[in-house]
Structure 1
């Protein structure tokens, strides 16, 4: 009997539904410590593959006999070999199809809610990378915000629901993942929008996304209002959609706030970040549902798998929004930063159109956790 594969989608459902799963991760200890599959009810054992080449007898007492064991490696090859040995030893075991590469690239669409005059808001959860992107749909037309490089899922999803993609937006020039916005626009004939203050070095044409822009989607006058909110980047732009949703980009997250240093400008941009969060966002309705471009920890997921919370709740609960002293705030966002994202400079160059890495290079550039937030 051959060992069975478990797909990234199946693991995602276990995460979102808070199911139990025991994971045997056979990557190196450093890779596991840096980035792993996370679930509220998941258990883990990390044993490097090279310690298991001669057999799994040494770890059998550490593995559950009454639960399914999922073996995980970088690209699936090593996990298949280990899973086969565990199957022969009598365990209920499977391996992650495509390994952590597949986990990094999986997108799970989640319906966030309805629009006032008909239409829907969808969130695409990139569970292994912490990226969140969006599709606004109204009367057969769609707009996409902060798309990842896995462009087919957006195009296919729009086709499935009978919507034509008319506009594609990036809230800012991303540094942690490669944008799929321009590629989607080229494939569909949609307009591509980018904040001009983030686009001074780009080598392609785009529509200038500026404060006060209103883009109508469909016939129901669903307007997307652009709100200039610098801080994470100098061009960072938020969106108020249907007077109901606040797409905050990488300025505000559910559990944290955006970091201002990915262009080497932390000291210069920290004042912009505070202005955006403490002045501009304070002027908005607290009833707006915040939809960020990333999430940091798995606990931020709601029961339906979405990542969303009212702005008023975040002003009450998010520590980054409750620092009265400006100097204390400055220290938090300039001194308390996690490591830079993997290959972030190369990703910025790619998103400017200056370099064109192939598919394998793009995948390698994005490997690792999301690091867009202040700790």
Structure 2
């Protein structure tokens, strides 16, 4: 079998087999995830519909690290779709500062994203929520049926939704786990009549990326930029943060990575751009938001300060003199929400190739062993 142009034997020698496989399996896993959700439709409706119709309901999307960034992508869409208070707050904030975030008398649905469900903050956050919020509901989106979170979130006011088994990623970095949990949240909270049609278009486009853009991203990574900046507006800002984390993780910090929004980038962070910097801009399809994304892209090109500028987009028709892009023209009419899937695949591939090209091992990238697949060393202190 070949993944991202490498054979099984090559990947085993590079200690990158699972990372490459889990990135590559995503289109198939997305389809399985939605099929599983369709089979659960009746019980999910029974659980969610009364919650979403509750006056003054608050939804908090939570998780740690990559799992938290899934919530940052979803929360603005849910607020728009349901006209409901929806926020993304990491478990790492909820656990350390619970009284600043939880509101006792506000009915709350806590939606937890977790690959293993065994991170100390995962279970602590749901227990603290139940301790502090009078009317508290729990929904866990997780990849591990045997995890502590999955086991806790069953019963009255609690529900667990499991991702396809293969998305409990065996590699260090979350890839298929992230995208499947993200997709599942979009399916549950932002349904559309043509959801499966749009999803199939994204599946096809992502499968095509694995065939057509691998060499481009690999060659780009071979330039070994010292800094990489990911930029995205709205829901793509959360994706930019996840992209930056993926690069930091897989290169073990050998490549510095940052993120921002296109508008926010001008307010100071842009000073980091030099000829050793790659800037990647996720371009929205939304016609209004897209204007701001394109403005910044053209400005970066005009500045000619960056070592390289790459646009991830569905069209280049409105971007004159663009030097480089990954363009998915077949998705030019797609909603921004599902563009999250092929866009993150591009960032994951670049991170994988970067790890190899700086001499790192993608499946076990932390040379010191001080950073772990499931976080360690966290003491959960009793809440008084």
TM-score category, normalised to shorter length: 0.3 to 0.5
| Higher radius of gyration, 1 or 2 | 1
Greater RCO (CA < 8 Å, at least 6 residues apart): 2
| TM-score using structure 1 length | 0.32
More strand by share: 1
More helix by share: 2
| TM-score using structure 2 length | 0.32
